[in-house]
Amino acid sequence: MKSSATSPDAVALHPRATLKWGLIAAAALLLPAATLALRPTGASDAALIAKARSVAANTVSDVAIDDAQSFRVLRGKQFKGLFVSGSGDVTRDGAGPVHGCFVVGVNADGRVKVIQTIGTDNWEAETCTGVKAVSLLKADADGTQRLVLIYDAASPNAATVEPVVLRWTGRLDRAEVDITASDKASQAGAESIADVRKALGL
């Protein structure tokens, strides 16, 4: 009489199959995670750029967006959001407005954060002439991402070039100015992306 119990061979994977899938899983763990990349913005980004402009206008007057220095952020083929560069008049406490610059971190889901750069905080005595270059920097081992913007700026006495480093983890709307890295690059006299990487040991 045949037993109604299920044969062990009917449910167990063949040893070779088990080994095959084990090797595939191990290989997957060894594959490096896709790094972030910047790509030019396009027509499909118009709605998010308009949102960035609208939110920036809450704190900046006469907002102008620099399309040439605004970028899509991708991880492999996954769209993570935008970094939108802009400028406008920024009001300062106890002083008249100054023409400053900012960058807006726009997450893929539409969450937005405006990050003031030239014309505020460490750069409050300077006016912003424009953005010269934008680049991602090497990520930290803990996953912290960094991006640098190289600005043409002017103080009351001279023209200058200012590197401003941003850092964030996860969503782009969590980005903030990395004052320590920015100061280190500035004090080293960094005026290009290559200079910033050298100053920060990247």
Mean pLDDT confidence for 23-31: 43
Residue 6 has pLDDT above 90, yes or no: no
Residue 67 has pLDDT above 60, yes or no: yes
Residue 22 has pLDDT above 90, yes or no: no
Mean pLDDT confidence for 49-70: 96
Residue 27 has pLDDT above 60, yes or no: no
Q: What is this structure's pTM?
A: 0.81
CA proximity to 139, closest of 163, 165, 160, 159 = 165
Amino acid at 143: G
Coil/strand/helix, residue 35: coil
Per-residue pLDDT, 30: 44
pLDDT tens, residue by residue, 168-193: 999 999 999 999 999 999 999 999 99
Domain ranges of the chain: 35-199
Residues 6+ apart with CB under 8 A from 161: 132, 150, 151, 152, 153, 191
